[in-house]
Structure 1
């Protein structure tokens, strides 16, 4: 079994519209921190110089959104109410784990320009690989956008899905849709431009807002989908971090490929 990493890193040095803050305490600073914490919270005095080399453990403090790096969006990310079920969308910590360990299929959309594609383009992609996903399979969209990760263009130049394309996949029984782009929708600028031209509200984030009508999750900011040797016949494992009440959770997404 070969493991292919499909995840992009959380990197404070890379360009992000919502910057990541990463503070690293060295092992020496960790010793001083531990000593101070023991004194404050437990009333215990401990001299950090008693430790080997005067060092304890390093510590990382980070400030970032749950949509930084490869992450899974929960239904609660799409809105506060739904037209299905109880009317209240589930958070990321409430989603079934079996959704995130399943057979996968990757669709090649690298020939598409910036904007949103619909069912016709997905039909062509399925036809090229002579395969249609079965219920509960994870569909991954290989757009090639990950080549621009870490640059401003990563957030402005990519292809997403329109609402009809999302509903087409959900009609097949798909519960999780992934993309190597910043968003499953078209870029913000593209969406606003089309809305101003047409006045059509249906162009406003339809891939996300479809989740107000039907329950599904999406994985955004994947990477290395071009490294998959075959378009199907592999497993995807993308368990989201269990954050209580959150609309998304980071994941170390991987493909499991039999040699």
Structure 2
């Protein structure tokens, strides 16, 4: 394949004042059919310029000519970024009518501005949709902050992002480690790992029933003793792909929530696709919006797994 270069003079104006001009400039091109605007942006990238307001090229010619190593074209620094990790989505999609937890209201999505109505507000060919989402915070895959359980605890806006983003994930694959007669996950099941500073993700396989009546009864959970062990071991976050981190059939007691949130350990419930993660080596993220006075909200939970 032949190489191509652009020959031109240029004038660059900066948004914060000042300008830069050049004559007889030559720039390697990745292909021959770039527009003048695309070549202008390539020039900005090559020169490493910031706060550019406008680029004007004069006397532009594109010629077949061997590359000379322009930054951003044909060299390692400008080569496309090769992904070093795959991203695994661990969240259930939210849709109108979704039942996350039996007895809680399903989300409703209604239009505020339809695309058809927006056409009267914008230039021809320009349209937007704006919708209203009404839902309880406990919808889909969501995170509980301490405020969810304790009035004096940090709300969503008070959470430290460093405890929610890029956490080392310790994934316990427990599909065969619990039985209906003993649904609780105990400390002994968790004690083989160093979980200090980690997101502990409990893969029970219960997510296969999500959105179906079977999801609401007989679900696995974390015992109070298991929660205390994770606190003492230094876990930062605990997530589960089940109905609840607690046993919802225990008559209203919530020891896992009370202990974890009281200790500042975040809780993420209704995860999914944990089977796609290795026991160790992934990085977990689950960050909610910073809503003041709110204790729980859906997250887009995901894990980055080394390729």
TM above 0.5: yes
The Cα offsets for residues 97-136 of structure 1, whole Å up to 9 and x where unpaired, read as: 111121101112212235322212333xx3xxxxx13421
Unaligned runs of at least 5 residues, structure 2: 1-84
Equivalent residues of 1:78, 1:211 under 8 A apart: no
Q: Distance in 2 between the 1:2 and 1:116 partners?
A: 32
Q: TM-score, normalised by structure 1?
A: 0.77
Higher RCO (CA 8 Å, separation ≥ 6 residues): 1
The structure 1 segments of at least 4 consecutive aligned residues displaced by more than 4 Å after TM superposition are: none
Q: In angstroms, what is the RMSD of aligned CA positions?
A: 2.0
The Cα offsets for residues 174-210 of structure 1, whole Å up to 9 and x where unpaired, read as: 1200011121112x2x212xxxxxxxxxx81111111
Partner of residue 139 from structure 2, selected from 68, 74, 83: 68
Equivalent residues of 1:4, 1:254 under 8 A apart: yes
Q: Distance in 1 between the 2:238 and 2:285 partners?
A: 13
Q: Which has the larger radius of gyration?
A: 2
Unaligned runs of at least 5 residues, structure 1: 32-47, 81-87, 127-131, 193-202
Alignment length (residue pairs): 215
Equivalent residues of 2:169, 2:199 under 8 A apart: yes
1:204 and 1:29, CA in 2 relative to 1: closer, same or farther beyond 3 A? same
Q: Structure 1 residue 50: deviation in Å?
A: 6.6
Q: Secondary structure at the match of 2:184?
A: strand
Q: Distance in 2 between the 1:134 and 1:95 partners?
A: 20
Q: Secondary structure at the match of 2:281?
A: strand
The Cα offsets for residues 200-238 of structure 1, whole Å up to 9 and x where unpaired, read as: xxx81111111464221101111100011x211111111
Equivalent residues of 2:141, 2:301 under 8 A apart: yes
Q: Which has the higher helix share?
A: 1
> Which residue is 2:196 aligned to?
135
Q: TM-score, normalised by structure 2?
A: 0.65
